[in-house]
Amino acid sequence: MKREELPSSMGPVACIVGARPNFMKMAPLLRAFSAYPQLPTLLVHTGQHYDADMNDKLFADLHLPAPEINLGVGSGSHAVQTAEVMRRFEPVLDERTPSCVLVVGDVNSTLACSLVAVKKGFPIVHVEAGLRSFDRAMPEEINRVLTDQIADRLYTTERTAHGNLVREGVDPIRIRFVGNVMIDSLLAHRDSARSSESTLSACGFDPALLKQASGYGVVTLHRPSNVDQPETLGPLLSVLREVSEKLPLIFALHPRTRANIERFELSHVIHTDRMIMLPPQGYLEMLGLVSGAAVALTDSGGLQEETTALGIPCLTLRENTERMITVEQGTNTLVGRDRDAILRGINEVLQSGGKRGRVPELWDGRAAERIASDMSQWLAQRHSRVDA
Ligand code: UD1
């Protein structure tokens, strides 16, 4: 069906989630849309993430409704996963004729659903558009660049995203700076975050470790560039072990990382009672762990933003970031896998509390409201054009 042939009745906004970092972005959007009767929604889960602790727990914590459709694609190579989402999403568009397809972030599901939508003439809305690491070896960078090229409405979290998009030829008329929906979720749930002590106890660990004067650090690690080769994962874990001698560390282990630690026989490196390994955590548990930490060490995109919003220093275990605003204005420092830089960062935290920053413009908990308000007008205009 071509764009001009779309039916004139307004279908639902097809809201796509696939992987864990999508859930906290979609939750405030669905809440905001519910205030607009003209923006009915259809929640579609691609099934990219499927384990209970990567999925169900977060849905419950974020009060996300059960998806109306689950495509059940599961894991696979990039090609297989992307192709499977595309194959299974196409009939959804045929049957439900949504008013538009709304995608968030930069995971494979984001790009896959966007590709299906553009070829069938459905407008695409991209939330968190225009972020660039300028590192094309990152699968997410490819997903970002391509999704933005074919999106009709692009909502950005920071002002530099606008320049990135315009440089790539995106018409500025399509771009709106609205703020950060991930921070909407953080602010909405901050008061109900679970304490670090209760999270540790629930996982069978003695929370006494948290009582040390220095506090503790929280670690997440899952980027293929950090965890997929033994010659990178091994030394990185050794540095983290060194860090743990100064500051106890709590890991929330992504299944990819856990599997690779076992596969590469690296379990002995992390075998110390100063490094606590937890399974992937729920949203409220993670929020509590991060809020109570002296520092976060991470390669996650979301955590770089959350620590900046919370004012907690963050050492990002990457050479680059698509979220430079967290470095320029927030509490983030890029340290890569450089032992000296990591230890320097930790010493700074121990001596002076670490890097301080400010909360970026419009990271105020109201980004989803701005998006819903703008979308209701934008879709009404499109609708009247199709009808005319
Ligand atoms: C994906 C996203 C990444 C995001 C991350 C958050 C892409 C390209 N990557 O990476 O941007 O930061 O999610 O977690 O979309 N697995 C399970 N259970 C699950 C899901 C995955 O065990 O519920 C394991 C499987 O072995 C799978 C591996 O994790 O092969 C990787 O999962 P995948 O969805 O391909 O990528 P992530 O590394 O999670």
By CB atoms closer than 10 A (0-12, 13-18, 19+), residue 50 is middle
Ligand 1 centroid – CA 221 distance (Å): 12
Ligand 1 contacts CB of residue 256 (under 6 A) = yes
Residues (pLDDT < 70) of the chain are 1-9, 388
Residue 43, by phi and psi: left (phi above 0), alpha (psi -120 to 50) or beta? beta
Distance CA 322, CA 73 (A): 27
Ligand 1 centroid – CA 361 distance (Å): 30
Ligand 1 centroid – CA 243 distance (Å): 27
User: Which ligand 1 atom sits nearest the alpha carbon of residue 139?
Assistant: 8
Ligand 1 contacts CB of residue 113 (under 6 A) = no
Q: Which residues pair with 176 in a beta bridge?
A: 155
Q: Which of 113, 82, 81 is nearest to 98 (CA)?
A: 113
Ligand 1 centroid – CA 63 distance (Å): 22
Atom 26, ligand 1: residue with shortest CA distance: 256
**For residue range 156-182, what is the model confidence (pLDDT) as tens digits?**
999 999 999 999 999 999 999 999 999
> What burial letters (b/e) apply to 182-196, b meaning 16+ CB within 10 Å?
bbbbbebbeeebbbb
Ligand 1 contacts CB of residue 298 (under 6 A) = no
The pTM is what? 0.96
pLDDT at 1: 43
> Taking the CA of residue 46 as centre, how many other CA atoms within 13 Å lie in the half-sphere pointing to its CB?
34
pLDDT at 210: 82
Distance CA 320, CA 302 (A): 14
pLDDT at 213: 82
User: Which ligand 1 atom sits nearest the alpha carbon of residue 76?
Assistant: 30
Ligand 1 contacts CB of residue 19 (under 6 A) = yes
By CB atoms closer than 10 A (0-12, 13-18, 19+), residue 150 is middle
Q: Which residues pair with 315 in a beta bridge?
A: 297, 333
pLDDT at 388: 66
pLDDT at 295: 98
Ligand 1 contacts CB of residue 318 (under 6 A) = no
**Residues annotated as part of the active site:** 222
